[in-house]
Structure formats: C-alpha cells, structure tokens
C-alpha cells in the first residue's frame, strides 16, 4: 500500500507544508487507491462519483501557491491540499448530488452547501461523493439505490449507515477525511463498525445549509476520519455560525484541536466519566461489552473517575425517534415531486394530471425504506393522531434531555458502546426493519437531545471493529475530543499501533479493481 494514503490527515498536511510531497501526489495516490479497491465486483463501493479533474486542479493550485511562497502560502489553511470525500447528501456545484436515490439521478446542484464553501475556501481537494442509504435512511448503506457499500474489514459485511460510504472510504484509505451527516447515528455507527472516528457535533454547531434534510431537528454534519485529532481539525474547519441556517449557534467554534492535543497525553485525571446503565447489557453483544469494559479500565487506570448514571427514559428514545424522524421526513421529502428538478416519471396510462405525475414520480423515484418512513410520518402527523404520536414523542424528547441534564450533573462526559453489535452480514437484516432500527439505539439519544457525540475505535470482536461512544453536554464538544483522544492514545499504546493497521489488506486482487 502506498505510504501516502496511510498517513493521517494531520500527518499528510505536515508533509505538504514541509514540501516533502505535493498535493497532486497526495490526491493521485488516493485516486489510485479508489481505482484499486472501490470499483470492482467486490469493490468497497464507497464512492458514487469520483471528482478526478477538479480534485487534481485544486491540488495543483495549492501546490502552486505553496511553491510561490509568501503571504498567500502563509494564508493557506493548515489542511490545504489534503483530499476529502463528501457524503452524497451534501450538495456540491460541479458534481452530481443524488442522496443515493433514483429521485435525484443526474441532478446537479446550482449551489454549494455552506460546509462545501468552507472546504473550497480552505482548498481541500474533493475526491468525490460517497454512498449512503437513500436520503440517509438506514443503518447499513444497503438502502442505496446504487448498490451497497462493503465493509473494508470484511467485504461481505455492511459498513454501517447511513454514512457507510464515508466511513468505508476512510477505513479503506481511499480518503483521509470525509464528511458525514448524523440524524440518529449515521456518522457514529458506521465509524464504530469500520474502526474509524466520527463526530456528531452539537446541534447547530455546523451549518446544515446544503445538507439534504432528512429530519431537520436531528440532522448534523460532522467529520469522519481515522484519528481524533483529524476530526478536531475538520470540525473546526466546517463549524461556526451560518446566517443561512437559523438553527446554527451564534458563537465561535470551541478550541477542539487544543482539546484533542490535550487528550493525546492520555491523562484523564479528574475527568468524571458516566457509564450509562441503560446503554449496555441486553441486546449488546458479549464481544462489544468486553471491549467496552476494557475501555473503562483503561480510562480508570489513566485517572478517570468512572461512575454509573441512569437515563431511565432512554427506553422510549427509539420509539419516539421513529415518530419524530419520519414526521419530518414526510414533510422534508414532499419537495421531490418531479415538478422542478430531478427525476420525473409519467404514468404509463391514464391522464397526465399533476397529481398523477407527482404520484408516478414518487412511486418510481423512492425506495421502500423511504416510502415506509414517509407513510409512517404522514400517519403520525395526521389530524386525530398528532397528539398521541408526534406530540407524545416530543414529550419523550424533553424527558431524554432531562435525563442527560441529570447525568451531566454527575459526569463530565458519558460513555457507552456506539453500536450494540459489530458489522453484520450484507442482506441479513434488510427484510427486518425493526432489527435494523435497533442498531441506532445507543446513538439516537444524542440526536434527540441535540448534544454532541464521538465514536473512537475500541478494539475488535470476532475480528471486527467495536466503537466506543462519548457524549458531552451541548456546546461542550471539546470534552469529546479530550476524552476521545485520551482513549485513542491509551488503546493504541496497548495495541502497539492503530486499529486499522490490523485490517485485512485490500487490493485489486481482493476487490476486482484496477491494480
């Protein structure tokens, strides 16, 4: 494997700044890797679109600025020239944006998401758009209309979802950085099952403008990386107030890089870590529980005060989530009707009225999981049912927030396994939506309360990655980076290297790609 692609983003950025390698070389190395492992019959299939020309052009521009030196070179962002992959739920000019749906096949956004504007301004070459469950609805990336993504650890297994493409791209060294979106765990659960790092920022910490909305009150864009420090840099880059997003926090991004660097000492002295009683035990695989317990031991040994906290209302979280999320989905996805953009399907017989064209378009353009959620949400919002469903679910949301408030009165950060299981086999849960939904049981409460969460690799079970999740109070994202970086350091010391170093070698031979 080319050594460039094994570098973390922070390491790569340092080599670019030092002039040891060029951005064009870095981008080309990743494009080669994508060609090698992504596209074959058994390829990872992390990417829906590869943005070769533009990525190389941006890289060349960065190289030219660096070569010229002076003020322009000084003004470059520290990560300028480091390539990044973008979840295909985030709109980009000049590249298609599909949301992994037939509904948007071939659609080109006329505008950039705010996070994309920031990435362009910082001159990070965009490698392309990554796969996801259609409109981010799913926990396995199997609901993509363009075929599933495979887990680099085992090509017969799912990479998690909805952001399986971004997580797999990073895990397979196809990109050092990626963007994801997290509505109920779509950054953290794929991070857990691919052995990568993923962060869901505080709601409002990163602009949602240009992220195709799934559930507006729950969605957040966040970083997907191989190290906690890389996530901190990327989070600082994409975070901050955006006047185009009314729900964005009007305050500066916290000092996340500083927090990650502090955590990297591995010292957890005086940090109170709350173990959420309800997010372990029944439903959690034994191997997952073992890795979780080892992480607690490592933290305790590093000086952390480990306490147990109870969040009794979490048992209602999944149910409430599956009322609020589909309700917002049913409204957010109403705009996909074939009238103004995207796919338009005409009924094969009968008159061409607007209702019938909208109906035929939505029938053909949406996959089953999307339809399931639209129907659920339409029902939950209906007159006569609103109070019992949407109304009750909002009350549960308040109760979950109170559980968190009480827990954070005792602990600085909370901890749990990110996902109750390791990656399951492709196709094993596609016929059982409820089993699929249970994957997000540990990640959903954070979205319901608007608080931030991080997943860091916690070791292997059955040869597959286990993720450890930290949660922090709203606006206290820095605590996640401190604790996350500390655990990362403690475990890597124990393992003698990074978890991904133990991942099976992928090559053109294993994936059917281009050698």
Partner 1 sequence: MAMHQEELVDFDVALEKYDPVLGFEVHVELNTKTKMFSSAPNVFGDVPNTNVTPVCLGLPGVLPVVNKTAVEYAIMIGLALNCKIAERCGFARKNYFYPDTPKNFQTSQYDDPIAYDGWIDIELSDGEVFRVEIERAHMEEDAGKLTHMGGSTGRIQGADYSLVDYNRSGVPLVEIVTKTIEGAGKRAPELAKAYVAAIREIVKALDVSDAKMERGNVRCDANVSLMPKGAEKFGTRTETKNVNSLRAVEHAVRFEIERHAAVLNSGAAIVQETRHWHEDTRTTTSGRPKSDADDYRYFPEPDLVPVVTTVEWIEELRARLPEPPAERRKRLQADWGYSDAEFRDVVNAGVTEQIEETIAAGTTAAVARKWWMGEIARLAKNADKDVADLGVTSATIVELNSLIESKKINDKIARQVLEFVVAGEGTPSEVVEKRSLAVVNDDSALGAAIDAAMEAMPDVVAKVKGGKLQAIGALMGPVMKATRGQADAGRVRELVLQKLGIEG
Residues that bind partner 1 (CB under 8 A): 90-91, 97, 99, 104, 107, 109-111, 113, 208-213, 215-217, 243-247, 327-328, 330-331, 334-337, 339-342, 354-355, 358, 378, 381-383, 386, 390
Catalytic residue among 23, 87, 129, 327: 87
Q: How far is the CB of 337 from partner 1 (least distance, A)?
A: 6
Consecutive H or E run containing 182 = strand 177-182
Who contacts 378 (Cβ-Cβ below 8 Å, separation ≥6)? 330
Q: How far is the CB of 486 from partner 1 (least distance, A)?
A: 35
Closest by CA to 208, choosing from 91, 292, 123, is: 91
Measured in degrees and rounded to the nearest 5, phi and psi for residue 95 equal: -130, 150
Who contacts 514 (Cβ-Cβ below 8 Å, separation ≥6)? 35, 36, 39, 40, 508
Q: How far is the CB of 178 from partner 1 (least distance, A)?
A: 18
In which order are the strands placed within the sheet that holds 413-417?
Answer: 47-50, 126-130, 84-87, 177-182, 220-225, 197-200, 453-461, 464-471, 413-417, 272-276, 305-309
3, with CB counted inside 10 A (0-12, 13-18, 19+), is exposed
Q: How far is the CB of 480 from partner 1 (least distance, A)?
A: 24
Please confirm, yes or no, whether 507 is among the known catalytic residues.
Answer: no
CA dist 512 and 515 (Å) reads 9
CB 265 within 8 A of CB 486: yes
Buried/exposed code over 264-282 (b: 16+ C-beta within 10 A; e: otherwise): bebbbeebbbbbbebbbee
Strand partners, 177: 225
Of 378 and 392, the one with the shorter C-beta distance to partner 1 is: 378
The reply to whether omega before 162 is within 30° of 0 (cis) is: yes
Please confirm, yes or no, whether 186 is among the known catalytic residues.
Answer: yes
H-state helical runs in 366-451: 368-380, 392-410, 433-437, 444-449
Catalytic residue among 8, 109, 166, 186: 186
Of 107 and 495, the one with the shorter C-beta distance to partner 1 is: 107
Of 166 and 419, the one with the shorter C-beta distance to partner 1 is: 166
Of 134 and 328, the one with the shorter C-beta distance to partner 1 is: 328
Please confirm, yes or no, whether 162 is among the known catalytic residues.
Answer: yes
Q: How far is the CB of 108 from partner 1 (least distance, A)?
A: 11
Of 345 and 381, the one with the shorter C-beta distance to partner 1 is: 381
Q: How far is the CB of 314 from partner 1 (least distance, A)?
A: 22
Q: How far is the CB of 201 from partner 1 (least distance, A)?
A: 17
Q: Specify the 3-state DSSP secondary structure of 311.
A: coil
CA dist 354 and 352 (Å) reads 7
CB 80 within 8 A of CB 12: no
Of 189 and 248, the one with the shorter C-beta distance to partner 1 is: 248
Rg, the chain, Cα only: 22
Of 381 and 514, the one with the shorter C-beta distance to partner 1 is: 381
Catalytic residue among 23, 162, 166, 419: 162
| 66, 73, 79 from 70: Cα distances, Å | 8, 6, 17
Of 236 and 337, the one with the shorter C-beta distance to partner 1 is: 337
| 407, 440, 473 from 309: Cα distances, Å | 6, 20, 14
The catalytic residue positions are 87, 162, 186
């Amino acid at each position: 494997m080319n050594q460039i692609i094994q570098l973390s983003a922070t390491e790569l950025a340092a080599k670019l700044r030092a002039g040891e390698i060029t951005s064009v070389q870095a981008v080309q190395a990743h494009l080669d890797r994508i060609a090698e492992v992504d596209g074959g019959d058994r390829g990872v299939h992390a990417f829906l679109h590869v943005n070769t020309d533009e990525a190389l052009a941006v890289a060349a521009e960065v190289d030219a600025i660096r070569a010229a030196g002076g003020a322009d070179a000084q003004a470059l962002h520290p990560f300028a020239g480091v390539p990044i992959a973008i979840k295909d739920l985030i709109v980009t000019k000049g590249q298609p944006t599909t949301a992994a749906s037939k509904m948007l096949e071939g659609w080109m956004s006329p505008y950039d998401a705010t996070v994309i504007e920031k990435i362009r301004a910082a001159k990070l070459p965009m490698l392309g758009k990554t796969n996801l469950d259609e409109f981010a609805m799913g926990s396995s990336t199997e609901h993509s209309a363009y075929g599933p993504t495979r887990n680099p650890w085992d090509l017969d297994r799912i990479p998690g979802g909805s952001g399986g493409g971004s997580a797999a791209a990073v895990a397979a060294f196809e990109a050092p950085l990626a963007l994801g979106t997290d509505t109920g765990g779509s950054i953290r659960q794929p991070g857990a099952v691919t052995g990568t790092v993923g962060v869901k920022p505080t709601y409002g910490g990163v602009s949602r403008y240009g992220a195709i909305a799934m559930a507006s009150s729950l969605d957040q864009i966040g970083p997907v990386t191989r190290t906690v420090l890389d996530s901190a840099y990327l989070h600082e880059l994409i975070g901050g107030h955006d006047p185009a997003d009314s729900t964005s926090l009007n305050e500066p991004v916290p000092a996340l890089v500083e927090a990650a660097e502090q955590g990297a000492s591995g010292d957890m002295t005086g940090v109170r870590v709350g173990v959420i009683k309800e997010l372990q035990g029944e439903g959690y695989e034994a191997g997952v529980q073992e890795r979780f317990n080892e992480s607690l031991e490592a933290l305790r040994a590093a000086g952390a005060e480990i306490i147990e906290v109870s969040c009794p209302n979490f048992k209602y979280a999944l149910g409430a989530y599956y009322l609020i999320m589909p309700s917002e989905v049913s409204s957010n996805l109403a705009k996909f009707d074939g009238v103004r953009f995207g796919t338009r399907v005409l009924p094969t017989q009968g008159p061409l009225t607007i209702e019938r064209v909208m109906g035929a378009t939505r029938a053909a353009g949406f996959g089953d999981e999307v339809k399931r959620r639209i129907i659920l949400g339409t029902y939950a919002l209906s007159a006569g049912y609103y109070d019992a469903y949407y109304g009750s679910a909002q009350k549960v949301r308040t109760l979950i927030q109170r559980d968190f408030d009480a827990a954070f009165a005792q602990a600085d950060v909370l901890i749990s396994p990110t996902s109750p299981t390791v990656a399951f086999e492709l196709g094993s849960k596609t016929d059982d939506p409820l089993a699929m939904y249970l994957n997000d049981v540990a990640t959903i409460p954070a979205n319901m309360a608007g608080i931030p969460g991080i997943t860091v690799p916690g070791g292997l079970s059955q040869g597959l990655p286990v993720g450890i999740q930290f949660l922090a109070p709203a606006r206290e994202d820095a605590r996640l980076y401190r604790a996350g970086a500390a655990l990362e350091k403690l475990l890597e010391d124990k393992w003698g290297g990074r978890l991904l170093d133990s991942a099976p070698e992928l090559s053109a031979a294993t994936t059917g790609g281009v050698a």
